[in-house]
Amino acid sequence: MASDASRTGPRLPPTRSTATPTDGTAHRVGGPASATRSSDAVRAVLLAAALVAGWMLFRELASLFVLIVITIVLALPLEAAATRLERRRVPRFVGALLALVTIVAVVGGVLYLAIPPFVSELQRFADQLPGLVDQLRARLGASSSTDGATGQSLQRSVQHVLDKPQGLLGPIAQVGLGVAGALGAIVLVLVGAFYMAINPRPLVDGTLRLFPPDRRAWVEEAMTDIRGQWIGWQYGVLVDMLVTSVLLYIGLTLVGLDYALVFSILSALCVVVPYFGSVAGGVPPVLFALAERSVTTALITLGVYLVVQQIEGNVIIPMVMARAVSLHPAIVLVGVVLVGHLLGFVGLIVAVPIISATIVLVRELWVRRLEGDAPTGPVRPPAEG
């Protein structure tokens, strides 16, 4: 009688042993692949939780972020002036103070001269809004079933801005209550910018220490690039606002349009926001001319704005701003929408610096590293002007 082994053939070893090893430790059933899948799932959950927590924290600290960006933007020209005066043996404290006093005096003088007539004309314009809207609807042939509700709604919106202008500050208004909060935010920004300009080196060194030693040259080069772009942007915006306001005021006055000062100042302020600002500043005067005067006057007003925009786009921006800040229009459009949604109205004011800084950081700290580039050598620290 043949044995069991001869009838069934040779016994094959099992593919997976479930016996306990001789050292007494249990087998891991899944093996290395199962452990990898488990760790990947844990990392994905942790990453999602970190993103949610970061988003909630950002929403809570949005006002602080905007204040910090505005403070740095204002500190850059103070630091540059202090550095130049220091070369002429003027102490940095005195140089930064002189620059700050000059900026405050110039801005205060412009506001003192422009704000009273601007507010007066804007109030008069708000009082006439319901009638102007009715005239515009009649001229366009629209039905008046709303019985002036649209005009009254616009009037309430403009009146709310006149009564509570601090509402335009968006998340910054959360720093304090009412006008006191707005004034407190302004004082905080001025004082912070002044002290940054006096001694920026510790802040620069502290920022560099947040990165590994082998990445600090890249970070320092990125900071220098951002500094140059932000200063160039400020200079370009100031020139653009001045030229736009003067040309529009002259053009609208020659057309004979009422509230020329209001429309010119509004358009000058809107140039801070690329592309969208031009449209936002040009629509109100054209509609006003159409409602108050005629189609011909509205077309002439539109022509004035188009001429000024051509001067801005083909002369001012290429000569003053494009050399410092070179951004693709599509990136600017998407970035402005995103920044405005996250940070509110005041975020739009610093949208271009935020976008340019983001582009520089991505290029210097990620793209160039992937491409195998190296820093361009020793760079001038951002604090040395």
Predicted confidence (pLDDT) at residue 331 exceeds the cutoff of 60:
yes
What is the structure's pLDDT at 112? 79
Q: Is residue 140 part of a domain?
A: yes
* Tokens linked to 210: 């947040």
What DSSP letter does each residue of 23-43 carry, written as one string? TSPPP-SSHHHHHHHHHHHHH
Name the band, by pLDDT with cuts 50, 70 and 90, for residue 229: confident
- Point out the least confidently predicted range of 69-73, 124-128, 291-295, 350-354: 124-128
pLDDT tens-digit profile of 192-218? Answer: 999 999 988 888 888 888 888 888 888
pLDDT at position 250 is 92
Domain contains 1: no
Higher pLDDT pick, 336 / 101: 101
Question: Which residue has better confidence, 77 or 176?
Answer: 77
pLDDT digits (tens, 9 = 90+) for 42-72: 777 777 888 788 777 776 677 778 888 889 9
pLDDT tens readout for residues 98-110: 999 998 898 888 7
- Residue 359 domain-assigned (yes or no): no
Number of domains in the chain: 1
The reply to whether 245 falls in a domain is: no
192 within some domain: yes
Contact criterion met (CB below 8 Å) for 358 and 230: no
Confidence band of 344 (pLDDT split at 50, 70, 90): confident
Q: Is residue 158 a part of any domain in this protein?
A: yes
* Residue that has been written with the tokens 């616009």 in this structure: 154
Structure confidence at residue 325 (pLDDT)? 67
Q: Which domain holds residue 93?
A: 60-199
Residue 311 domain-assigned (yes or no): no
Confidence of residue 182 (pLDDT cuts 50, 70, 90): low
67: Cβ contacts below 8 Å, ≥ 6 apart: 172, 175, 185, 188, 189
Are the C-beta atoms of residues 203 and 196 closer than 8 Å to each other? yes
Residue 5 has pLDDT above 70, yes or no: no
Residue 306: inside a domain, yes or no?
no
